[in-house]
């Protein structure tokens, strides 16, 4: 289950004044309703009371320290639950999923709750309001070293944006893949040494193909808060390769995460790939605890087999792929292979 903070924020980071929001933007409210309906919304007691009624067709988890706080009874799909800490609110949302169709927990404010959940959320869905109003309540700082803007849609008075995390390991900076890095990604796709076991799989059709592939990666980030990274050395920002996980739906409807890693040949052998894989598994575990991680490897690709086994994945099947070539399926449950 992804956890996403959703907020409308002014240019001076103001989100409220007393108990009120200092603007009224109908299209933002419509968007909030559309995204959160049939999902879970966690909010502080002040925000809950300033809205003044349970939000329809959603489960609201109200966070309060007041043990006597009572929620109104459920009415159909409109439910209000109470939690006495942030962690309890997240646990409550996770365990009372019920028949809710989707898998996102939204953090809906206010200031105190946003501030206490910045290190727990997988993405930020921010409407930037082009105003600088007076106000007593603020959104926390969105640090550029931690949050990467994956989408921006301009709407005149306000912009809808989405941020996903940049990950860091001991030596690596892992940046969500976008067309900004297309020239680096092409170095991977066009290097025949990387694809010696799989030459037909990766050939770029043309320039547009490279852009299309990266846009698909960016959409993956937007939908799942996780996809493939551009891998850079933190010290020098030098490009090393690409990797991460991509969520795919199997024929039977199950969703699994496919692990990917391709490093420039001259950068291999330094332990960068296991360092990246370990972070990828940690991130999968955070957004999808019951997930399966998979990897398809050609039998002759000894290096990738060693890396998969080092990551704790096991060979569960040998199959023929669409072009009739043998491929090994490696798999692991993320709760078993990631700490
Ligand atoms: N622009 C936006 O997108 C947006 C969205 C939401 C809200 N807002 C604005 O934000 C303002 C409200 O924000 P706020 O910071 O004043 O209040 P808030 O975050 O909505 O709620 C604060 C209350 O939450 C409870 N709480 C906080 N931390 C807790 C913890 N760790 N464990 C248990 N309970 C905890 C406490 O309730 P008790 O006092 O009952 O213990 C606390 O008084 C309003 O102006 C509202 O309009 C703006």
pLDDT, tens digit, for every residue of 146-159? 999 999 999 999 99
| Domain end residue (candidates: 131, 165, 199) | 165
Strands 40-44 and 104-107, by their bridges, are: parallel
Task: Check if the beta carbon of residue 8 is closer than 8 Å to that of residue 25.
Answer: yes
Q: Which domain holds residue 322?
A: 167-337
Same domain, 161 and 176: no
Q: Ligand 1 mean position to 8 CA, how many Å?
A: 15
Which residue's alpha carbon is nearest to atom 13 within ligand 1? 110
Angstrom distance (rounded) from CA 244 to CA 266: 20
Q: Ligand 1 mean position to 226 CA, how many Å?
A: 28
**Alpha helices per DSSP H over the chain:** 26-36, 45-51, 86-95, 111-117, 182-189, 199-202, 207-224, 272-287, 302-310, 334-337
Tokens 């009739």 belong to residue: 324
- How much is the pLDDT for 130? 97
Question: In the structure, what pLDDT confidence band is assigned to residue 101 with cuts at 50, 70 and 90?
Answer: very low
Same domain, 84 and 217: no
| Domain end residue (candidates: 145, 165, 185) | 165
Q: Is the CB of 44 under 6 A from ligand 1?
A: yes
DSSP string computed for 18-54: TTB-S---HHHHHHHHHHHTTSEEEEEHHHHHHH-SP
Same domain, 321 and 179: yes
Same domain, 247 and 318: yes
Angstrom distance (rounded) from CA 334 to CA 23: 43
Which among 51, 60, 63 is the best mutation to test ligand 1's pocket, defined by most ligand atoms within 8 Å of the CB? 63
Which residue's alpha carbon is nearest to atom 32 within ligand 1? 85
Which among 30, 32, 66, 112 is the best mutation to test ligand 1's pocket, defined by most ligand atoms within 8 Å of the CB? 112
Cis peptide before 110 (omega within 30 of 0): yes
H or E element: which one contains 73? none
- How much is the pLDDT for 195? 85
Same domain, 141 and 83: yes
Same domain, 152 and 277: no
Same domain, 85 and 101: yes
Number of domains in the chain: 2
Angstrom distance (rounded) from CA 12 to CA 10: 5
Averaged over 230-249, what is the pLDDT?
97
What CATH number is associated with residue 105?
Answer: 3.40.430.10
Same domain, 87 and 199: no
Q: Ligand 1 mean position to 277 CA, how many Å?
A: 37
Same domain, 159 and 172: no
| Domain end residue (candidates: 115, 137, 165) | 165
pLDDT at 98 over 60: no
Same domain, 173 and 156: no
| pLDDT tens by residue, 36-84 | 998 999 999 999 999 999 999 999 999 999 999 999 999 999 999 999 9
Which residue's alpha carbon is nearest to atom 26 within ligand 1? 64
What is the model's pTM?
Answer: 0.95
- How much is the pLDDT for 339? 67
What CATH number is associated with residue 180?
Answer: 3.40.630.30
- How much is the pLDDT for 95? 86
| Nearest-atom index, ligand 1, CA of 17 | 45
- How much is the pLDDT for 7? 98
- How much is the pLDDT for 97? 67
Same domain, 100 and 229: no
Average pLDDT for the chain: 94
Cis peptide before 92 (omega within 30 of 0): no
| Nearest-atom index, ligand 1, CA of 85 | 32
Same domain, 124 and 178: no
Q: Is the CB of 108 under 6 A from ligand 1?
A: yes
Averaged over 274-292, what is the pLDDT?
93
| pLDDT tens by residue, 290-315 | 899 999 999 999 999 999 999 999 99
- How much is the pLDDT for 199? 75
Q: Is the CB of 113 under 6 A from ligand 1?
A: yes
């Amino acid at each position: 289950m992804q956890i996403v903070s959703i907020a409308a924020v002014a240019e001076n980071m103001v989100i409220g004044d007393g108990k009120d929001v200092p603007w009224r933007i109908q299209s933002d409210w419509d968007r909030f309703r559309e995204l959160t309906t049939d999902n879970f919304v966690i909010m502080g007691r002040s925000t809950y009371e300033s809205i003044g009624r349970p939000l329809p067709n959603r489960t609201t988890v109200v966070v309060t320290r007041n043990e006597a706080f009572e929620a109104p009874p459920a009415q159909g799909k409109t439910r209000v639950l109470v939690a006495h800490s942030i962690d309890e609110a997240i646990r409550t949302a996770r365990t009372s999923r019920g028949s809710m169709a989707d898998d996102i927990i939204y953090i809906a404010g206010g200031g105190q709750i946003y501030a206490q959940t910045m290190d727990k959320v997988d993405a930020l869905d921010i409407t930037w309001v082009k105003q600088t109003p007076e106000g007593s309540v603020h959104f926390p700082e969105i640090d550029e070293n931690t949050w990467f803007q994956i989408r921006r849609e301009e709407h005149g008075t306000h912009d809808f944006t989405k941020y996903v995390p940049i990950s860091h390991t001991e030596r690596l900076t892992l940046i969500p893949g976008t067309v900004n890095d297309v020239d680096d990604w092409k170095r991977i796709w066009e290097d025949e040494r990387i694809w010696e076991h799989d030459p037909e799989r990766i050939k770029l059709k043309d320039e547009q193909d490279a852009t299309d592939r990266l846009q698909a990666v960016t959409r993956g980030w937007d939908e799942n808060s996780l996809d493939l990274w551009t891998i850079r050395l933190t010290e020098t920002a030098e490009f090393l390769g690409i990797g991460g996980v991509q969520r795919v739906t199997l024929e039977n409807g199950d969703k699994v995460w496919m692990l990917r890693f391709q490093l420039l040949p001259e950068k291999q052998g330094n332990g960068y790939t296991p360092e990246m894989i370990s972070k990828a598994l940690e991130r999968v575990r955070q957004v999808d605890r019951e997930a399966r991680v998979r990897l398809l490897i050609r039998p002759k690709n000894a290096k990738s087999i060693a890396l998969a086994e080092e990551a704790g994945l096991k060979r569960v099947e040998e199959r023929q792929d669409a072009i009739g070539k043998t491929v090994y399926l490696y798999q692991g449950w993320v709760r078993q292979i990631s700490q």
